[in-house]
Amino acid sequence: MLYKRFNVFFFICLSSLPLFVFAQNKLDSVQHLSEIVVTQSRISTEAIPVQTLSGSLLNDLSVHSVADAMRYFSGVQLKDYGGIGGLKTVDVRGMGSQHVGVFYDGIEIGNPQNGVVDLGRYSLDNMEAISLYNGQKSAIFQPAKDYASASSIYMTTKTPDFRGNKKQDIKTTFKTGAFDLVNPSILWSQELSDNVSGSLNAEYIYSSGKYKFKHKVVNKTDNRGGYDTTEVRKNGDIRVYRLEHALFGKMEGGDWKTKVYFYNSERGYPGADVKEPGKFSHEDRQWDTNLFFQASLKKKMSYVYSTLFSGKYAYDYIHYVAGDYPGPELDNKYKLHEAYLSSANFFNILPFWNANVSTDFMWNKMDSNMKEFIYPQRYSGWVAVATSFYFERVKIQASLLGSFVHENTKEEKQDIQQNWDKYTPTLIASWQPFESHDLHLRFFYKNIFRMPTFSEMYLAYMGSLSSLLEPEYTKQYNVGITYAKTIKRSLNIGAQVDVYHNKITNKLMAIPGGVNFRWTMKNLGLVQIRGIDVALNGDTQIGTNTVLTARLNYTYQKARDCSDSGEPSTYKGQIAYIPWHSGSAIVGAKYKTWNLNYSFIYTGKRYDGSANIPENRIKEWYTHDLSLSKSLYWMSTDLRLTTEINNLFNQQYDVILNYPMPGTNFKFIINITI
């Protein structure tokens, strides 16, 4: 086993050598390529449904993290367990958080333990754009792993951009406000040579996490009736240190970049607000340390052939202590290791015909101090073959992904091995019926699966051998239309509507029972999801000093649990936490150096289980947020002062049942750029 580990480490080191070799090449001023982010308000005309928040719009929102920004995308349900330190994951089109791939500067963030990524960890201070793709990216030149998710979130950090004779930029930010928030950060960008630049981003966050909420108690035991009271959310404190260092290089026909990311936090988990106050003291604590190094190199070798190399090593340490619960106290520690290598090869066969062949490899391992732990290791390989045809008004793409997984565990001093080999296709098409109108019709079909996570396989029912689970299979169908138009050069409008049908088979279900009160995981479920996503977009300029922007999103979802026709209480019931109706609105106004931004989020009626009975209903909720900022220029320094009011009308609501969210709260932000 030590030999295998050495091989993984050796290949990671070997894959990074081209970055340092190519970095010495002299850039040709005519041929240089660099990554840029184009920011525009018009609806995307890509063949795959995509939503993007970028540039000034991303900065103007009253949001703290990437998770908060995701609430403004249609088809997305944020699972928020309350406060700044609460776990935050997303569910796209009702398929579950484990089906969402999260990519940071083009390389996926893995979590084999439970399959979800806490988006609350990722700050917006160094973020240039956030994009959500249903299915996969339209561009076929990508690693094989990018084809392996039902939907994908791409986070793109800022690339240094020096203007004039400047060789460095320093941006400092300080945020304070409700919940005793203290949040300073600094972003330092430096030009190191004509071809190489770097950035350093450091951030500290502290919050007590204390906020008031209303608690309603229903008394059914006697005739005294119930009551409403105000309580304080406790044990929701968080302390975070985050550090990122990146290098960016240019070379003839391409570019390269590296990133080192370090995250360390201590937080409390306040737990659920149960109906019996004081039943649980919620003293749970968790310590997280996350460190990864990643690098990528893209180069155009000739007119016909381009290549993309990517590599990553990640280490996660989790220490979880459960406090005042029935039974013995838990004190569990987990260590996760991940190594990843990718090679993508793009071929420009004819002016209208492209192809891509990608191969990826990933190694995952988990250790723990738990008794009778089985130390799982997973070796995963992907091979993707994709092709695209671009005609005058027609785009067609097709891909086939081969996934190969080998897993080792140690159970009762025996090595248990499992293998999975799966092949999944995707077909994408787009058509522009009229050459003179920016109207596009699009369609995609994708068949994909997700592997059971380590927690589902091995932590639900330890030592049982009943954890030989099958993957979840997802079939996605999408038909959509996009339209964009510019009116009199001062008014831009756009719209996109997508109708979709998702079918999830072999859905993993948790069944109560088993050893030591652990639940047992089984492949029992079948979920049918039908929905509509609508996005409207517009901006207009009034005179020379005023710009108005608007962005509206609406989603209708009917996500039915079709697992067991013999259970009339749950059969064809709306699955847990998926509302029938949800939407958001963002309206902004800019006048000279002033910026006013209003945002609204609505989530309709939901249930906390597939049994759609009154006892399981969760009340609909909505929030209003408002921000006002003023930009100043003083002594070669840019200053920006911002005031935010979140949950303007003090809405009392739960995103997750019994995890109350904050009421009205304030935030003050100072940005200084030198």
Boundaries of domain holding 133: 2-294+469-673
Residue 263 is predicted with a pLDDT of 95
Residue at token pair 């004509």 = 194
Query: Rounded to two decimals, what is the model's pTM?
Result: 0.86
- pLDDT value, residue 636: 79
For residue 15, what pLDDT is reported? 35
* Residue 423 resides in a domain: no
428-434's contacts with Cβ under 8 Å and 24+ in sequence apart are 428/47, 428/48, 428/135, 428/138, 428/395, 428/396, 428/397, 428/398, 429/47, 429/394, 429/395, 429/396, 429/397, 430/45, 430/46, 430/47, 430/394, 430/395, 431/393, 431/394, 431/395, 432/393, 432/394, 433/393
- Who wins on pLDDT, 654 or 192? 192
Number of Cβ within 10 Å of residue 412's Cβ equals 9
In terms of phi and psi (left: phi > 0; alpha: psi -120 to 50; beta: otherwise), the region of 115 is: left
- Cβ atoms within 10 Å of 314's Cβ, excluding its own: 20
pLDDT at 219 over 90: no
Lowest mean pLDDT among 33-37, 134-138, 611-615: 33-37
Predicted pLDDT of residue 11: 34
Of residues 465 and 646, which shows the higher confidence score? 646
Q: What integer is the mean pLDDT of 209-232?
A: 66
Q: Looking at residue 184, what is its pLDDT?
A: 95
Tell me the backbone φ, ψ of residue 413, rounded to 5 degrees: 65, 20
Angle at 249 between CA 171 and CA 246, to 5 degrees: 45
pLDDT digits (tens, 9 = 90+) for 484-542: 999 877 899 999 999 999 999 988 776 554 443 445 677 778 899 999 999 999 999 98
The DSSP H or E segment spanning 5 is helix 2-22
DSSP E strands in 512-636: the ranges are 520-542, 546-561, 573-574, 581-591, 594-603, 606-607, 617-618, 621-634
Structural domain contains residue 174: yes
> Domain count of the chain?
1
Q: What pLDDT shows up at residue 224? A: 52
Once rounded to an integer, what is the mean pLDDT over residues 454-482? Answer: 75
- Give the pLDDT score at 217: 58
Is there a contact between 72 and 601 (Cβ–Cβ < 8 Å)?
Answer: yes
Which residues 6+ apart lie within 8 Å of 161 measured at CB?
A: none
**How far, in Å, CA of 97 to CA of 93, rounded?**
10
Mean pLDDT, residues 147-161 taken together: 91
Q: What's the 3-state SS for 46-84? A: CCCCEEEEEHHHHHHCCCCEHHHHHCCCCCEEEEECCCC
Q: Is 392 part of a structural domain of the chain?
A: no
pLDDT score of 21 more than 70: no
Confidence of residue 83 (pLDDT cuts 50, 70, 90): low
Give the Cα separation of 19 and 310 in Å (integer).
Answer: 10
What token pair was written down for 353?
A: 């015909």
Tell me whether residue 238 is exposed, middle or buried, using C-beta atoms within 10 angstroms of its C-beta: 0 to 12, 13 to 18, 19 or more. Answer: buried
3 state SS of 581? strand
CA atoms within 13 A on the CB side of 309: 19
More confident residue, 113 or 473: 473
Read off the pLDDT of residues 325-343 as tens digits, 9 standing for 90 and up.
Answer: 555 567 889 999 999 999 9
In a domain? residue 164: yes
Please say if the pLDDT value at position 292 is more than 60.
Answer: yes
Which pLDDT does position 85 carry in this prediction? 66
**CA distances for 473 relative to 84, 110, 430, 508, 616, angstroms:** 34, 19, 25, 10, 28
Average pLDDT for the chain: 83
Give the H or E element holding residue 19: helix 2-22
Q: Look at residue 10 in the predicted model and tell me its pLDDT.
A: 33
Does 375 reside within a domain?
no
- Residue 13 and residue 285: Cα distance in Å, rounded? 36
Q: What percent of the chain has pLDDT over 90?
A: 48
Please state, for a pLDDT cut of 70, what percent of the chain lies above it: 84
What the block records as the tokens of 47 is 């063949």
Q: Looking at residue 635, what is its pLDDT?
A: 78
> What would the mean pLDDT of 6-31 be, rounded to a whole number?
35
- Cα distances from 468 to residues 254, 452, 474, in angstroms, run 45, 9, 19
Q: Which range has highest mean pLDDT (27-31, 369-373, 615-619)?
A: 615-619
User: What distance in Å separates the CA atoms of residue 499 and residue 510, rounded to the nearest whole number?
Assistant: 30
Which residue is listed with tokens 């080998």?
Answer: 406
pLDDT in tens, 349-406: 999 999 999 999 999 999 988 887 888 899 999 999 999 999 989 999 999 999 999 9
Separation of alpha carbons 526 and 528, rounded Å: 7
For residue 414, being part of any structural domain is answered with no
CATH number of the domain that 265 lies in?
2.40.170
In-domain check, residue 333: no
pLDDT on residue 311: 97
With 50 as the cut, is the pLDDT of residue 449 above it?
A: yes
Asked whether residue 24 carries a pLDDT value surpassing 80, the answer given is: no
- Tell me the two tokens of residue 462: 């330890």
Q: Is residue 123 part of a domain?
A: yes
